[in-house]
Amino acid sequence: MTGRIPLPAQPTGVAWPTLTWATAALGDERAGDDLDLAVEAAFRGPRAAELGATAAIVVVRAGRIVAEHYGPGSTARTKHLSWSMAKSITHAALGICIGDGSIDRDAVPVAPEWTSPDDSRAAITLTDLLAMRSGLRFNEDYVDADTSHCIDMLFGVGADDVAAFAASLPLDHPIGEVFNYSSGTTNILARRIGDALGGRDGMERFLRDRLFDPIGMSSAEPRFDAAGTFVGSSYVYATARDFARFGLLYLRDGVWDGSRVLPAGWVDEARTLRSVDEDAMGYGLHWWIHDDESGAFAARGYEGQRIIVVPSLDAVIVRLGKTPAEKRPALDRYLDELVDLVACAIEPHPEESPT
């Protein structure tokens, strides 16, 4: 992608979904039917078997919900675990703090474990951590407990203090030079935010008052470890519609109903390609990048959690469920098909109904 697709503004006459979402039928009846059928196919029949268990899909176009479906035991009120989509929420929280001046983006060391004058980790910046280029050792494995730092951090010896566990690891690479996706680096960032806000109570109030409430993300529940650190790598519970609200915030360049929630330029930094992983997936700053003409970028989580933001289509797609690793390629193909179906549909009718 040679340049960023402009982020669209909320269409005139479409209410912001702070309290309720507007819904709309797509203007082309056939295209709308195709999208509905494709969404429903994820929940039953052979396509569902290819994808694993899908709990929820919400498709937003031009600020309205245009397709929505839930699996057994799930409704619009059900809260789902974000897994690593929480990393993008941590990105938002850090941006607000930097914009407020409560955190200096360039100040080092970021972690108290790195204060020794001879500790080379002291040179790691917030941007290095956001870009997953800190150089710190971390094996982001979800299966092999013998080698996985992630399993140790979230469920083992590091679970009571996730940031201290991650910050204690040594450098394996020169700072800023090697991409290594790491939940540990996000938890170091989350602790830095919490420290600036006075600990767990301050962090909880901040997330509610400065991020969740302003965009109507009322279901959001961040989880904390025993040390009082927001486990920003992995643990936010929210409804599918509220995850869609978060995606819409980024689609609207961090502005919500006339008020700027995220600093100017923060979203553009997040969706600027900085790295490509071993699966040819792009990465920016705590957001994954679809390096194509759609300008799409995504929050992604374990077992196929997705918030896909598509600027070229003024669209957000949320998918929640449990997809095993071997079925992830099929899920990625399916979500690409949903994007194509949204692209084939013309603008939604102007009629809207609150829901």
> What does the block give as tokens for 21?
């979402």
User: What string of DSSP letters covers 202-218?
Assistant: HHHHHIIIIIIGGGT-T
Q: What is the pLDDT of residues 225-279, one digit of tens each?
A: 999 999 999 999 999 999 999 999 999 999 999 999 999 999 999 999 999 999 8
Mean pLDDT of 290-313: 95
At residue 345, the pLDDT reads 72
Mean pLDDT of 289-310: 94
Closest CA to 181 of 152, 209, 142: 142
> What does the block give as tokens for 166?
């991650």
Q: What is the pLDDT of residues 133-190, one digit of tens each?
A: 999 999 998 877 778 999 999 999 999 999 999 999 999 999 999 999 999 999 999 9
At residue 33, the pLDDT reads 83
At residue 292, the pLDDT reads 83
As a whole number of angstroms, the distance between CA 73 and CA 299 comes to 24
- The answer for 14, left when phi > 0, alpha when psi is -120 to 50, beta otherwise, is beta
Question: For residue 352, is pLDDT > 70?
Answer: no
As a whole number of angstroms, the distance between CA 76 and CA 20 comes to 12
Q: Are 232 and 187 in contact (CB under 8 A)?
A: yes
Share of the chain above pLDDT 90, in %: 88
| Helix or strand (DSSP H, E) at 310 | strand 305-310
At residue 350, the pLDDT reads 53
Quick one: fold of 87-196? Beta-lactamase (3.40.710)
Mean pLDDT of 284-293: 92
Q: What is the pLDDT of residues 175-230, one digit of tens each?
A: 999 999 999 999 999 999 999 999 999 999 999 999 999 999 999 999 999 999 99
Quick one: fold of 22-78+239-354? Beta-lactamase (3.40.710)
54-58, 264-268, 322-326, 340-344: range with lowest mean pLDDT: 340-344
Mean pLDDT of 75-91: 98
- Are both 22-78+239-354 and 87-196 of the same fold? yes
How high is the mean pLDDT of the chain?
93
At residue 2, the pLDDT reads 41
At residue 162, the pLDDT reads 98
Q: How confident is the model at residue 1 (pLDDT cuts 50, 70, 90)?
A: very low
At residue 3, the pLDDT reads 61
Share of the chain above pLDDT 70, in %: 94
Cα-to-chain-centroid distance, residue 35? 24
At residue 146, the pLDDT reads 77
At residue 144, the pLDDT reads 78
Domain ranges of the chain: 22-78+239-354, 87-196
